[in-house]
Chain A
Amino acid sequence: MTDSRVKFSERAYEDVYRATFPTVWSIVRRLARTDEEAEDACQHAYLALYRYWSAGTLREAPTHLLYRAARRAAIDALRRRHRLLRLFERLPKESRASADVGGPLARALQKLRPEDATLVMLQAAAGLTYEELAAIDGKSVGSVRSRLFRARQQLARLYEDEGGTW
């Protein structure tokens, strides 16, 4: 993970962007309704990284801030999705939905609590340790560990409910 002492430069910023985007996209896109919504969330996250890093006020690894901002954006996206579901029961057809986020696992993930869903994604897609997750979540390692355990168990059940097979 990139160290917070790495000096900011446009080149360093692009390097972090290229290295992390597939993971960030994977996290955000699985929880957002559309590609456009996910792209907006990614832009917010990377702009936040740029703002703090270029101002020299970054106090943590750039990727930590990035994942926290991406997680926040993904939680917002998932909450919007839940609100729409409550309003219309069934979502309208999505304009530019990706084919790779429509399966039973994606549907199950979207039914978790947004905070838990993003935590699961950060661990699975970004490969973060419990300590790193706790730093991003602002909670203790024990709390993160137990929440992740319950969330993953619930995810497995929801996956089966959505027709997923092992």
Chain B
Amino acid sequence: MEPEEAARLARAAADGDPAAWKALVERFSGLVWSVTRGYRLGSADAADVFQTAWLRLAEHLGRIEHPERIGAWLATTARHEALRIARSTARLVPVDDVTLLAFGQADENSPEQAVLDTEQAVLDTERAAMLWRAFAELSARCQQLLRVLIATPPPNYAEVAAALGMPVGSIGPTRARCLQQLRNVLVRDDVSESASSAHNKEK
């Protein structure tokens, strides 16, 4: 989404246009979710952080200084709330990942399910599972960075920087290093790979 389009949607939503709000949700919910998931919060906490970011945006519409950077605003808000909750001792409750699994079940007729059906056809299930397992082996920092980068739809670098609280300039090099780390895990796990490529494995 172009910054001008984001700004236009933000203004339209501030003026009471629910379609503009829906477009903002569709554009940025993947980004906000990727931020909350990057903090290893329990599923209830992650859900609360996600929801708080959107509730706060609803009240701030029309008051945001740079509406063209609304994605970065949301990402920053989610990051701050995630950090806040991570510091809250009152929040030390058992992690309930069963709820998360239930969240993940897209209902049959949803657009999400349609996407899944299409993806299922084009994506080798085994490879997908292997990739996701490999992803889970990456360092916490790499998982956090990549999660944001691979949000759907893809965020721009300014949004990624806001989501992670890091300068735009260091995203590229870190991304390259993390993708290499991922590739090393994939190479290690792939029996068909030659022994020589396995030597490149990075710790």
Q: Say whether A associates with B.
A: no
B residues in contact (CB < 8 Å) with A: none
A residues in contact (CB < 8 Å) with B: none
